[in-house]
């Protein structure tokens, strides 16, 4: 049992770290798909090849991260699918241990009359935190199931498997054709929206596993500011770049 608990905690920590890289990559990609002035400046004339090479590389990297975090389910692969499998233990023992770890606030101390005193939870607080854990569990399963069943996730898995990892061809009207991203019907906002959904699921499973969570909202802001500074976009970015230097 202890091995399973350590495994799921390691998976949750790993997903958090993977999401950090996804968020940073997407922040670098955003100006290349949403900022028309930036696109017009960087995607024409002698910059055309470089712009599209970098943009395509970032698209493939983000698609790979999305597919890895959500979809893969090997025995040693950290993903939402793997965590769902571990949490679906038939005897519910993993879930019960995680609930107990979440409910019991170990190591909390405070000073009482100048004496360091161990914090003792009352029944009400323990009950409240138990309910919180159950709500997190319900939310994670609902959010991750929605992601795993989504058409967009399947499209990102196809990009990773059939375009990024290696090229596959298909037969159309008797002719062999290379799979194209455009054929999947994805829009730019589809990547942005699925990343937001992934963030919520990552935050939830981090809380369930009682690991040291980072502020993913703050990470988003930092990543966007860093990307603007890198691409030298806007006065705020220029100021930030000077501060960094």
Q: For residue 80, which of 206, 170, 218 has the smallest C-alpha distance?
A: 206
Domain residues for the domain of 78 are: 2-244
Give the model confidence (pLDDT) of 98-114 as tens digits. 998 888 876 555 565 56
Total structural domains within the chain: 1
78, 18 Cβ separation under 8 angstroms: yes
Give the model confidence (pLDDT) of 107-147 as tens digits. 555 565 565 555 566 778 888 989 999 999 999 999 999 99
Q: How far apart are CA 49 and CA 24, in angstroms?
A: 23
Give the model confidence (pLDDT) of 195-223 as tens digits. 999 999 999 999 999 888 789 999 999 99
């Amino acid at each position: 049992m202890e091995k399973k608990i350590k495994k799921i905690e390691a998976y949750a920590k790993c997903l958090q770290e993977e999401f950090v890289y996804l968020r940073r990559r997407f922040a670098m990609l955003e100006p290349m798909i949403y900022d028309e002035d930036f696109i017009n400046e960087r995607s024409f004339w002698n910059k055309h090849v470089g712009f599209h090479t970098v943009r395509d590389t970032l698209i493939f990297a983000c698609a790979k991260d999305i597919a890895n975090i959500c979809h893969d389910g090997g025995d040693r692969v950290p993903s939402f699918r793997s965590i769902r499998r571990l949490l679906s233990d038939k005897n519910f023992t993993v879930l019960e241990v995680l609930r107990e770890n979440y409910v019991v606030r170990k190591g909390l101390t405070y000073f009482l009359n100048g004496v360091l005193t161990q914090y003792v939870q009352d029944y009400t607080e323990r009950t409240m935190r138990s309910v919180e854990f159950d709500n997190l569990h319900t939310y994670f399963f609902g959010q991750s199931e929605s992601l795993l069943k989504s058409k967009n996730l399947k499209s990102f898995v196809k990009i990773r498997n059939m375009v990024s990892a290696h090229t596959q061809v298909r037969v159309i009207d008797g002719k062999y054709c290379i799979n194209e991203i455009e054929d999947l019907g994805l829009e730019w906002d589809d990547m942005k929206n699925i990343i937001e959904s992934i963030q919520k699921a990552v935050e939830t499973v981090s809380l369930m596993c009682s690991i040291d969570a980072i502020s993913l909202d703050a990470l988003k802001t930092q990543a966007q500011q860093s990307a603007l500074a890198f691409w030298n976009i806007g006065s705020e970015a220029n100021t930030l770049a000077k501060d960094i230097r």
